[in-house]
Amino acid sequence: MSRVLGVASFFALLFGSAVTLAQVPDSETCSFPGAAFGGIIISVSDTIDPGVDLTVGGVEVTTNIDHSVAANVEITITSPVGTVVTLFDNSAGATSDISVIWSGIGIAHGGDEFTCGCLMQPSGPGTLADFEAQSSAGTWTLTATDSLSFLSGGTLDSWCLRLFRPHTPEIQVCELPAAGFGEDPLPASISQSIEVLDDIAIGEVEVYTDFTHAFIGDITTWITSPAGTFVTLYAEGGGSEDNLIVTWSDRGAPYGAPSYQCDCLMQPAGFEGLADFERESSAGTWTIDASDSFAASDGGTLDEVCLRIFRLPADFETCEAPGVAIGDIGLPESISETIDVTAAFTIFDTQVHTDFTHGFIGDIVASLTSPAGTTVTLYSEGGGASDDLIVTWSDLGVAHGAVSFRCDCKMQPSGPGTAADFSGSSSLGIWTLDATDSFPASGGGPLDEWCIRLYEVFPDLEVCAEPGASFGFDLLPETIVESTTVIDKLTVGEAEVYVDITHAFSGDVFLSVESPAGTVVSLKEASIGGSDDGVIATWSDRGVAYSTAVANCGCLIQPSGPGAMADLSGEPASGTWNLTATDTFEATGAGTIERWCVRIFESAGPNFLRGDCNADGVTNALIDALFILNWQFSMGAAPPCFDAADVNGDNVVNALIDALFLLNWQFSMGPAPPAPGPTVCGLDPDGDVAVVCATPPITCP
């Protein structure tokens, strides 16, 4: 019997506490056979099928074996393609029991007790790297053998298989600043910049830091992206330990679980983690800052820092190789090739790869048209007499024409239009690449390949429920209302509602959603669907027109109305959301709400009251002016919302100037604080350019 179980939980069961791990696996499955061996039964084997098909980049295996003489035991692991690695081979010094995480990045074999529950390298023959590049799919087999079974015996209690995808950064930049800080006469803080020239959409970030320091409990260090997002990596967590040598990664061990000198992967101290950088652009200046909160006592140096950036994988990618030629005598002047995108989501970014073999690309014009009819010109006769056109067209690329058109690199489209023109629309449907040779007599060639890569917009919040509630037949209610609660304090910029309902005749189903503020939007009238089975769709103002929709398409559909999802914009997301489902003709059979989700895309910034410096929900000139003066001149608490404390709206918080502005307004009939103003919650019209609102006033959503 096997089941998915976190390996930290697995070893906690064995040792009564969590165990330090190197990294978080992409797949993990555990088995608890409790199988005895030794005596008459010389060996025992147990299998795990991980149920995933991924290219193996790394493998770790945990074993928990009770045995009277562990030195008699041999343990092997066999992959689905038959590769065998010996984990433990009658190792000298083993007395009883084998509880180890076998890993290529562990300590040397036998470097600790075999009951340590730690990372340890296998004995061999073979290493776990022998499994790399294989497919994970299929049956993995662990075999334990007692070579002197007549003298001893034991039990294979449990084991786990941990699989990792290949993990190679697209970008790695290191600096060796050797910058001292934290002890007189050195500065209390340092800042090290890292320049990244390559521009990719960020999927994942890792940061390696190597600090020499005599008391790391004084250090705080954080990283800031070119977009201004910052993540705290370490916050005074190591007490009197020396040095801080860690690769900060969301895939790492829990913060503080291993030693801070482990030179291993560890999750950062920040609440959200390095995932905050996801989907940002990599290009620009990144900054690593470090401060020593007790500079008089100890100091140190930042010896090395490395930034590793992994590309965001496309949510949909497919290629076609038409091999259709244009532009020569006897060939067509133009071609039109299509790709049918069957995945339905709202587009965040679009990239298109084209590979033309052509003798004179200055004659070519190529454009891409989305299912919604938006057309962007990718290339327009820009390459003169050059051969071939091998480019990935992307707004994140180099300027159009800045490098060779056969660079096989990212380049911005020529226009008219940019890839951003597709953003916000639905991915679903036929995408068309058109190519024309404007002077076909000069030479031509085929479109060898083209690819489309689409990236999905992810909501800031998604809350789902799986009620399994039925309605509409026999003794069941005609109408049911299912609720889900949003706790997060967000302001709705856009909203979507996903619904999965089983029903034999979806044309009978009527759906509506009600927000916490009481706004009701009719999602589906009892008109579309007919005799189709089920209602599976995401209701969104970005979807296909309601009149053309299929109820079980799994795609984005505009609400039927009355009302639109835009009616929810500006409302607070927090509170109870209600989905109402009605069967208008109960004789056709019951329906069941299997799953439904509310997806919230946050508005451009938090709502706040201009002048409410203490964020208590009321702008009181005297109280709020004293609050910011106390902060700046008497070491009082900082304003929770700096936007609100920027009373005159000049994008700078200056306590004296802003306090006087506030007092002048209330007591001398001076100008009122600018938008959103002091009495009604609203957004910063400047889009939070220079100051931010970390905690909006309690009365603003």
Instruction: Quick: pLDDT tens for 24-34.
Output: 688 889 999 99
pLDDT, tens only, 120-156: 889 999 999 899 888 898 999 999 998 775 667 889 9
Q: Which residue has the higher pLDDT, 386 or 301?
A: 301
Task: Enter the tokens of residue 462.
Answer: 């998604």
**Residues 6 or more apart in contact with residue 401 via CB below 8 angstroms:** 382, 383, 411, 414
Q: What is the model's pLDDT at position 694?
A: 63
3-state secondary structure of 276: helix
Contact call for residues 354 and 378 (beta carbons, < 8 A): yes
pLDDT, tens only, 421-447: 898 788 888 999 999 987 766 667 899
Q: Number of H helices and number of E strands within the chain?
A: 4, 41
pLDDT grade for 481, boundaries at 50, 70 and 90: very high
Question: Cα separation of 409 and 335, whole Å?
Answer: 24
Q: What is the model's pLDDT at position 415?
A: 92
Q: What is the model's pLDDT at position 604?
A: 57
Q: Which residue has the higher pLDDT, 351 or 533?
A: 351
pLDDT, tens only, 615-632: 888 899 999 999 999 988
Kindly tell me if the per-residue pLDDT of 391 is higher than 70. yes
Q: Which residue has the higher pLDDT, 179 or 307?
A: 307
Kindly tell me if the per-residue pLDDT of 8 is higher than 50. no
Question: Cα separation of 328 and 497, whole Å?
Answer: 51
Q: What are phi and psi of 350, to 5 degrees?
A: -130, 135
> Which element (helix H / strand E) includes 659?
helix 655-668
Q: What is the model's pLDDT at position 1?
A: 29
Q: What is the model's pLDDT at position 603?
A: 66
Q: What is the model's pLDDT at position 72?
A: 85
Q: What is the model's pLDDT at position 3?
A: 31
Q: What is the model's pLDDT at position 173?
A: 94
Mean pLDDT of 8-25: 42
Lowest mean pLDDT among 490-494, 560-564, 624-628: 490-494
Contact call for residues 410 and 399 (beta carbons, < 8 A): no
Task: Enter the tokens of residue 694.
Answer: 């970390």
Mean pLDDT of 665-689: 78
Q: What is the model's pLDDT at position 95?
A: 65
pLDDT, tens only, 399-410: 898 888 988 888
Report how far Cα 626 is from the mean position of its chain's Cα atoms: 42
Mean pLDDT of 571-588: 84
pLDDT, tens only, 91-109: 655 567 899 999 887 778 8
Contact call for residues 572 and 492 (beta carbons, < 8 A): yes
Residue 605, CA distances (Å) to 169, 272, 692 in order: 32, 18, 9
pLDDT averaged over every residue in the chain: 84
Contact call for residues 267 and 249 (beta carbons, < 8 A): yes
Kindly tell me if the per-residue pLDDT of 387 is higher than 50. yes
Q: What is the model's pLDDT at position 18?
A: 32
Closest CA to 420 of 452, 374, 364, 460: 374
| Bond before 125 cis per omega within 30 degrees | yes
Contact call for residues 694 and 640 (beta carbons, < 8 A): yes
pLDDT grade for 520, boundaries at 50, 70 and 90: very high
Q: What is the model's pLDDT at position 578?
A: 96
Task: Please provide the size of the chain in residues.
Answer: 701
> Which element (helix H / strand E) includes 661?
helix 655-668
Q: What is the model's pLDDT at position 151?
A: 67
pLDDT grade for 44, boundaries at 50, 70 and 90: very high
Contact call for residues 576 and 485 (beta carbons, < 8 A): yes
In the chain, what percentage of residues exceed pLDDT 90?
34
Q: What are phi and psi of 362, to 5 degrees?
A: -65, -10
| Bond before 185 cis per omega within 30 degrees | yes
Contact call for residues 7 and 30 (beta carbons, < 8 A): yes
Q: Is 65 exposed, middle or buried (0-12, 13-18, 19+ CB in 10 A)?
A: buried
Q: What is the model's pLDDT at position 16?
A: 33
Kindly tell me if the per-residue pLDDT of 266 is higher than 90. no
Q: What is the model's pLDDT at position 586?
A: 64
Lowest mean pLDDT among 192-206, 361-375, 585-599: 585-599
In this prediction the pTM is 0.51
Lowest mean pLDDT among 156-160, 393-397, 577-581: 393-397
Residue 164, CA distances (Å) to 136, 170, 255 in order: 10, 17, 20
- Residues pairing with 319 in the sheet: 451
Contact call for residues 700 and 609 (beta carbons, < 8 A): yes
Contact call for residues 488 and 574 (beta carbons, < 8 A): yes
